[in-house]
């Protein structure tokens, strides 16, 4: 395992600004953002802050499908969306959108997974291999002949991921994937995503509001607001910053409890505490009042 320092930087963005055509002001404003190979980065921030727009740039949808003024230095595994087409980038960076319903086209799971490789004009044998591989990675072999939209929300989300993985990307971006899942499915999804990352050596960029579900897996958190990056650092540093500056995002309650008691806390140990430990801490807060 290479250390954080020696890992390769695979996304490098400098002074990126973007304005949608016909819009009045920039939705992204002089953004600097790096991602190293193998990182698990969570991007959060109020809605409208530009998170999805950033994902569109990282996959080439901007400016290829959404015109506008795009400036700054961009290198996504040495691609630049202003020079490269979406399908070129798509074989390196995959994007899973929020609503699975709109990204599943075929009537069976396996055909849906094959759709991307078919578009790439791959050999039949290669497509078959990719379909089998994707199905096994997300553990959907049993559902392969079912219609994707008859599956539960959690499984649909997995099909959408399998379909993107069949393009063999090295970076996987997910845009608010848990917003329509129930609590249990969302918790399972967090573990699934972390396993997937480890198994495939993926780099993951996750746009998400439910920070606490993913907190312990993250290398970094990026907080955006009104088109700017407010802070981009290790999870505990970011959370402390957000608490201090009253940034309106979902701070895990565990952190709030510890902060209230004024204890310095060690981010890595946060999840070593059990619920009962927090119960004791919380009761201390109640008694202090």
Partner 1 sequence: MAKISIEDVSFSYEQDKKNNFVLKDVSYSILPGDSVLLLGPNGSGKTTLLKLIMGLLKPTKGKIRIDDADTSKASVFEISKKVSMIFQNPEKQFFAETVREELSFGLKNRGLREEEIKKKVEEVAKKFGLFEYLDKSPFDLSGGEKRRLSIASIIILDPEVLIVDEPTAGLDFQYRNLMISIIRGFLETRNKSLVVATHDIDFGLRIANKAAVINEGKLVWSGDVVSLLREEEIFSKGILAHTFTSSLISRVISQSNVDFQKVVKILEELTEGLM
Partner 2 sequence: MAMNFVKAYQFSRKETTIHALDPRVKLFVSVGVAIIGIITLDPIEIAFLTVIQIIILALSKSMKLWLRSLKALTFFILLIAVSQYLTTQSLIQAIIFSARFILITSATSWFFYTTSPEDLGRALEQMGVPSDFSLAFTLSMRFIPVIANEFQDVYDAQRVRGLNLEKGNLLERTKAFLPILIPLFVEVIRRTYEISDALELRGYGFKEKRSHWKELKLTTNDYIFLAFFLLTIAIIVLHRLYYPLV
Ligand X SMILES: Nc1ncnc2c1ncn2[C@@H]1O[C@H](COP(=O)(O)OP(=O)(O)O)[C@@H](O)[C@H]1O
- The distance of closest approach from Cβ of residue 6 to partner 2 in the complex, given in angstroms and rounded to an integer, is 31
Task: Work out what residue 52 binds among Mg ion, partner 1, partner 2, none; the CB cut-off runs from 5 to 8 Å by kind.
Answer: Mg ion
Residue closest to 104 by CA, chosen among 92, 88, 115: 115
Q: How many residues does the chain have?
A: 289
Residues that bind Mg ion (CB under 5 A): 52
Structure-block tokens of residue 44: 């959060």
Contacting partner 1 within 212-231 (CB under 8 A): 212
x-or-dash pattern for partner 1, window 45-84, by CB under 8 A? xxxx------------------------------------
Cα separation, 81 vs 173, whole angstroms:
16
Does 184 bind partner 1 (CB under 8 A)? Our answer is yes
Cα separation, 92 vs 172, whole angstroms:
9
The sheet carrying 9-20 orders its strands as 28-36, 9-20, 68-76
- The distance of closest approach from Cβ of residue 111 to partner 2 in the complex, given in angstroms and rounded to an integer, is 6
Task: Work out what residue 64 binds among Mg ion, ligand X, partner 2, none; the CB cut-off runs from 5 to 8 Å by kind.
Answer: partner 2
Residues that bind partner 2 (CB under 8 A): 56, 59, 61, 64-65, 85-87, 90-91, 94-95, 97, 99, 101-103, 105-108, 111, 114-124, 127-128, 131, 147, 163-164, 167
Cα separation, 263 vs 246, whole angstroms:
18
Cα separation, 65 vs 86, whole angstroms:
9
């Amino acid at each position: 395992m290479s250390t954080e320092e020696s890992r390769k930087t695979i996304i490098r963005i400098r002074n990126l600004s973007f304005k949608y055509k016909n819009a009045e002001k920039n939705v992204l404003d002089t953004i600097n953002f790096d991602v190293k190979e193998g990182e698990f980065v969570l991007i959060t921030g109020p809605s409208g802050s530009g998170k999805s727009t950033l994902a569109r740039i990282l996959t080439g949808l901007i400016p290829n499908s959404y015109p506008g003024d795009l400036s700054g230095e961009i290198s996504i595994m040495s691609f630049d969306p202003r020079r490269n087409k979406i399908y070129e980038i798509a074989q390196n960076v995959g994007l899973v959108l929020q609503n699975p319903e709109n990204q599943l086209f075929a009537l069976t799971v396996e055909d849906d997974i094959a759709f991307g490789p078919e578009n790439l004009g791959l050999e039949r044998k290669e497509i078959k291999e990719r379909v089998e591989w994707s199905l096994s990675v997300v553990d959907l072999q049993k559902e392969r002949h079912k219609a994707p939209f008859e599956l539960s929300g959690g499984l649909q989300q997995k099909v959408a991921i399998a379909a993107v993985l069949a393009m063999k990307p090295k970076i996987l971006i997910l845009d608010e994937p848990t917003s329509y899942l129930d609590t249990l499915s969302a918790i399972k999804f967090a573990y699934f995503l972390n396993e997937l990352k480890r198994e495939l050596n993926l780099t993951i960029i996750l746009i998400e509001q439910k920070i606490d579900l993913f907190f312990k897996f993250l290398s970094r958190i990026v907080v955006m607001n009104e088109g700017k990056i407010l802070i981009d650092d290790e999870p505990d540093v970011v959370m402390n910053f957000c608490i201090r500056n009253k940034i309106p995002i979902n701070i895990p309650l565990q952190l709030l409890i510890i902060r209230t008691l004024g204890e310095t806390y060690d981010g890595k140990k946060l999840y070593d505490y059990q619920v009962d430990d927090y119960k004791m801490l919380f009761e201390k807060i109640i008694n202090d009042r």
